[in-house]
Structure 1
Amino acid sequence: MTLSIFPMDIPSAFAHKWLFDDITCQVYAMCGVLFSMCSLTNLTALSSVCCLKISFPNYGNRFSSSHACVLLVAIWCYATVFAIGPLTQYIMSCTVIFLSYTFILLTVHRSRRAIQQHQSTKNKTTNAHSLIVKLSVAVCIGFLGTWSPYAITAMSAAFIDTTLVPPTAFAVSAIFAKSSTVYNPTVYLLCKPNFPIHFYRLKILLILDLHNRYTS
């Protein structure tokens, strides 16, 4: 999205008009829909995999890296084929994501009630469950926050006179929707238990690299 859309989007925004030809406009629209849908479908698949591993472990534990590769290929094929129906894709992904995280939260709630009866393993399992709950809530909030303005604007333009929707609304809603590609990986990264350790190691490596450059 950064390589295919922003180089055309940014100069056109400053010029207050489209600076390229009609064919480039069609390519721009196709890339925007394709990458946005692919990102949204990735979130849908990720929530489903999390749901399988937590709520249905008998099936989720069979999920391997080869399954993940096949799933990613299927996601890209799905996004490519159905890129012409973004409104339906929003509705479908939203439903799957919320159902998946609902199952996860219900499973976590039942597990915590069971843990209260077995105090010996309470601390370790409770911490893992708390992490899953925080992750699920953060992803759901991020999904609503990034895609709701786009959905509202798109539906308003579809069912109301397009001239009544200001151009600023289209621009701001698109920015929010595209920010999901940054928000969700950041949430998963920050929620990793060993993230501070890796971040500290990376900081040390950067300092050593800078020191070696200046001393050499």
Structure 2
Amino acid sequence: MIEAALNISDDAVPYGGKSAFTQLEHNIVAAYLITAGVISLSSNIVVLLMFLKFKELRTATNFIIINLAFTDIGVAGIGYPMSAASDLHGSWKFGYTGCQIYAALNIFFGMASIGLLTVVAIDRYLTICRPDIGTGVCKKQESFFKMTLRSYNLLIIAAWLNAVFWSSMPIVGWASYAPDPTGATCTINWRNNDASFISYTMAVIAVNFVVPLSVMFYCYFNVSVTVKRYKASNCLDSINVDWSDQMDVTKMSILMIVMFLVAWSPYSMVCLWASFGDPKTIPAPMAIIAPLFAKSSTFYNPCIYVIANRKFRRAITGMLRCQTRQRVTINTLPMTTSQQPLTQ
């Protein structure tokens, strides 16, 4: 069965055609997708309800998290059901148009996620390394750069527009979308590793992987250096921010990025392998697991919010206990620019 899957050509798994995999294997994948989809939808809806209930959490920084929740809901609400239905059917059941829409939306939400995570890293850098109180340690001087709500909105819009561009390119002819080796889901047609696919893959990896990772590394490296400098100078108490909250948000952001890389690295490896090697030599299990791993990025973010952020944890716990807003303490200290509620 695996050997057959390795040797299928582009035309061997047509839309709605018979898959090289058994129905039992398809059912296992469908069960995973249904379970993951329910968890992802319910948990991300809880996150959105949390922001809706507690206006103290509707800050410029957390608005990025709200957008990330929408990307997760998009994949879980559209991608999971279509893929699960096709697996239960044994092959892709939504035709050519459905394949293009499904694959484009999955790439769109994936690219938007990494763009938004980059915005989170920039926010952490500006909030901690270039705060309103000054660029030096414990010095009261004018900041070199001051973020505003408009600045955050422009960065978020840029992340979404970047995702629109890269997800639409295969539809207009730069690379293409097609069923994967299972025949029950659609993605970048990496089995057709022509010049168009290779150039598209290299461009996507450069713009949506290498550049964001470089920005994130620069931002979080400087955050680490700045925190150590603050601690060495013993001046954290003089900073008019909830420093523990800033550390919570920073740790949460780093964990989200690490988990995003864990989820998307197998898929990136498949695309690189297909670009520089023979797609037919890619192991069938890897071809199946890679997109499933990528989809898993939709349901672990809410878990990270609860584990790494005390404010989110208090808010979600209070909401699940049906407590009123007045009974749940969110903020304890004055807020920085990035912490100011969007409604103000």
Query: Quick one: structure 1 residues 198 and 179, their matched pair in 2 at CA, closer, same or farther if it must change by over 3 Å?
Result: same
User: Could you tell me how far 1:119 is from its partner in structure 2?
Assistant: 8.7
**Bigger relative contact order, structure 1 or 2, given CA contacts below 8 A and separation 6+?**
2
Give the whole-Å Cα distance in 1 for the aligned partners of 2:152 and 2:246: 23
User: Could you tell me how far 1:133 is from its partner in structure 2?
Assistant: 5.7
Which structure 1 segments of 5+ residues have no match? 207-216
Deviations 1:122-156 (A, max 9, x none): 9x977456535633542343133122222212211
Give the whole-Å Cα distance in 2 for the aligned partners of 1:81 and 1:165: 28
For 2:103, which of 26, 29, 35 is the aligned residue?
29
User: Could you tell me how far 1:47 is from its partner in structure 2?
Assistant: 0.8
SS in 2 for 1:3: helix
| Structure 2 partner of 1:106 | 225
Give the whole-Å Cα distance in 1 for the aligned partners of 2:152 and 2:243: 28
Query: Quick one: structure 1 residues 8 and 159, their matched pair in 2 at CA, closer, same or farther if it must change by over 3 Å?
Result: same
Point out the structure with the larger helix share: 1
Which structure 2 segments of 5+ residues have no match? 1-74, 132-142, 170-199, 324-344
RMSD value over aligned CA atoms? 2.8
Structure 2 residue identity aligned to 1:168: P
Query: Quick one: structure 1 residues 182 and 82, their matched pair in 2 at CA, closer, same or farther if it must change by over 3 Å?
Result: same
Deviations 1:28-58 (A, max 9, x none): 2211111110111111111111111111222
How high is the sequence identity, in percent, across the aligned residues? 25
SS in 2 for 1:2: helix
Query: Quick one: structure 1 residues 136 and 103, their matched pair in 2 at CA, closer, same or farther if it must change by over 3 Å?
Result: farther
User: Could you tell me how far 1:13 is from its partner in structure 2?
Assistant: 2.4
Give the whole-Å Cα distance in 1 for the aligned partners of 2:313 and 2:298: 22
The answer to whether 1:78 aligns with 2:162 is yes
TM-score (norm 2): 0.52
Give the whole-Å Cα distance in 2 for the aligned partners of 1:37 and 1:133: 21
Give the whole-Å Cα distance in 1 for the aligned partners of 2:115 and 2:258: 17
SS in 2 for 1:194: helix
Give the whole-Å Cα distance in 2 for the aligned partners of 1:67 and 1:130: 22
The answer to whether 1:181 aligns with 2:255 is no
The answer to whether 1:138 aligns with 2:222 is no
| Structure 2 partner of 1:95 | 214
Query: Quick one: structure 1 residues 140 and 200, their matched pair in 2 at CA, closer, same or farther if it must change by over 3 Å?
Result: closer
